[in-house]
Structure 1
Amino acid sequence: MSGANDLRDRLTDGLYGLGWSTVKKLPEPVATGLGRRIADLAWKRRGASVLRLESNLARVVPDATPERLAELSKAGMRSYMRYWMESFRLPTWSKERVDDGVRIKDVHHLKDGLASGRGVIVALPHLANWDLAGVWATRSLGVPFTTVAERLKPETLFDRFVAYRESLGMEVLPHTGGAAFGTLARRLRAGGLVCLVADRDLSSSGTEVTFFGDTARMPAGPAMLAQHTGALLLPVTLWYDDDPPVMRGQVHAPVDVPESGTRAEKTSVMTQALADAFATGIADHPEDWHMLQRLWLADLEERGADRAEGSRS
């Protein structure tokens, strides 16, 4: 079994390496067309990721017919592959190309927060292309930032992602059981910018929130960092627009630290406020939410029950 896993890991790493080395050399229309063909093929195969995406979208759009869910999941896979094609090509994009490709509303919240010197935490869901948003911040606003990356297997693939994001001007810390918290706090106290994708808990110890009418768990880190450092906490949502073909975004109003309550109570209130802002953006642009994993507790518990049943059979 370990040999099969090693082979799969090498194949995965090789495919991503091929993407970064080859796709960035393609003319943009060719890369765009390739991404769409790959997305449509994956969607037609109806694999586990596509079915999970549809299941998640059914919670976002509860009155959708099966036909509408299929349309959304097809558009979602195209959006997801657009993210990858753009990401493979981002190292070659000029500042002008980034400026032409991104439109962010109410960015004054971000600029004012940084100008105040108190530090800013930007929290985003898996909408559109968060890497492109990061490049826009570093190149167009001239603001370097620190982020956290999920540990991936194989380790060589994780190293590729870190090197890729660092080449775009980001400081990348590994997500290893909260070890990054101290470094993030130091960056914020120095008046820096921290960007965190925060709609999916990776620790199994996140904060429970109500999300599209059911219970999910989201990372407590953004709210805890804001309390710990006094930094400004800003939800940001993104989406793709085809007319013209740009990525748009919305910087939402700051999430304030409640004046009363325990730290856990304050964290709960703030994380729920983030979830509400995320839900607004996702509901407006469900096809751009790249959530191909289980998120709600009921779905996670169902998976656990399936595994337990499998172990008994």
Structure 2
Amino acid sequence: MGPYRLGWAAVARLPVWPARALFFLVAEVVRRQRGAGVRQLHANLAQVTGAPPDSAEVRRLARLGVHSYLRYWRELFQLSRVRPPVIFERLDRLPVSGRGAILALPHSGNWDLAGAALAELGHPITTVGQRLRPEALYQRFVAARAAVGIEVLPVDEPRRTVPALGRRLAEGGVVCLLADRDVTGAGLPVRLLGRATTMPAGPARLALSTGAALIPVSLWYSGRDLRVHLHEEIAAPPAAGRRAQATAMTQALADVFTDAIRRHPQDWHVLQPVWPPAVLHPGGDQPEHGERAGERRQPEHPVPDP
């Protein structure tokens, strides 16, 4: 058994309170070290709040954000035996007539916990996942999610994954896609939290090609609970052409995400660039992430980041 699986297994067996104490300490260490990810979190939260990255408000939210992020990992490692309460709001917005649903959500709260709770209510879900290295770690993630009713399809195998998503939706299934960060450079232009960027095209294009309902979802922690709100379906507008329709639907997603993130910024777990660096730092240093202003990664696959 490799070190990753050993660590995962050890945390999974910890009682709740020791695990909370351990991850609290880890979060404090991560926060105080101010590595590249934490500095990027400050930059992202500055965009959310409109305050400077080193302001007291951003520092406060970043501290809470690091702890929320480590809480996600603790809950994931213990998902097979410990389930914090999940409270769904407007679950009635899921289609009931055999029509498929695409739940599009930002990297907020704990999407794995929400997926497990949804599966427990009789709605097993399908999602996509980036292939991690080493392969054993990726397979551990796939197995852990499968054990709680979450099917993970590989994001780097689009010829297999895209048709499989279509079949799940045709069967009336639920597909969950994280949709606030474009990792491929092939996304659609939007304004997110007041700034121009791109977001994955997959949710909107999949809805248009299958007729499934596109439903934005927001997640946040409320004390010990995870709250999950299903927003109104985003319908295809009467636009000329599929690309125009997909762009309008993706902008509608961005608008919902903007409101949700501003309401609960401390639970938005994005430690990577979301906007072009020149937008985040119009007069200051650029974040250290290996991209120059205006550069985007080359497209790798047509489905969104999990």
Global fold match (TM > 0.5):
yes
Partner of 2:250: 271
Partner of 1:58: 46
Q: Which amino acid aligns with 2:92?
A: H
Counterpart CA distance in 2 for 1:60 and 1:296 is: 11
For structure 2, which runs of at least 5 residues remain unmatched after alignment? 281-285, 296-306
Once the two structures are overlaid, the 10-residue window that deviates more, 161-170 or 216-225, is 161-170
Counterpart CA distance in 2 for 1:296 and 1:133 is: 27
* Higher RCO, Cα 8 Å, sep 6+: 2
Q: Which amino acid aligns with 1:175?
A: V
Counterpart CA distance in 2 for 1:88 and 1:177 is: 26
CA drift at 1:299: 5.5
Alignment of 1:253-292 (within 5 A): 253-292=232-271
Q: Percent identity, aligned pairs only?
A: 43
* 3-state SS, counterpart of residue 227 of structure 2: strand
Give the conservation status (yes or no) of the 8 Å contact 2:51–2:57: no
Q: Which amino acid aligns with 1:209?
A: V
Matching residue within 305, 308, 311 for 2:292: 305
Counterpart CA distance in 1 for 2:233 and 2:251 is: 13
Counterpart CA distance in 2 for 1:178 and 1:59 is: 33
Partner of 1:38: 26
* 3-state SS, counterpart of residue 291 of structure 2: helix
Alignment of 1:97-246 (within 5 A): 97=83, 101-110=85-94, 113=95, 115-139=96-120, 141-176=121-156, 178-179=158-159, 180-242=161-223, 245-246=224-225
Counterpart CA distance in 2 for 1:121 and 1:156 is: 29
CA drift at 1:164: 1.4
CA drift at 1:62: 0.5
Partner of 1:294: 273
For structure 1, which runs of at least 5 residues remain unmatched after alignment? 1-9, 309-313
**What are the Cα deviations for residues 141-175 of structure 1, in whole angstroms up to 9, with x where unaligned?**
11111110012222222222111111221111000
Higher helix residue share: 1
CA drift at 1:267: 0.5
CA drift at 1:105: 0.9
CA drift at 1:261: 1.6
Counterpart CA distance in 2 for 1:264 and 1:126 is: 25
Give the conservation status (yes or no) of the 8 Å contact 2:195–2:279: no
Counterpart CA distance in 1 for 2:233 and 2:31 is: 37
Partner of 2:5: 17
CA drift at 1:198: 0.9
Q: Normalising to structure 1: TM-score of the pair?
A: 0.86
CA RMSD of aligned residues (A): 2.1
Q: Normalising to structure 2: TM-score of the pair?
A: 0.88
Partner of 1:311: none
**What are the Cα deviations for residues 176-229 of structure 1, in whole angstroms up to 9, with x where unaligned?**
163321110111111111111111122210111101121121111110111001
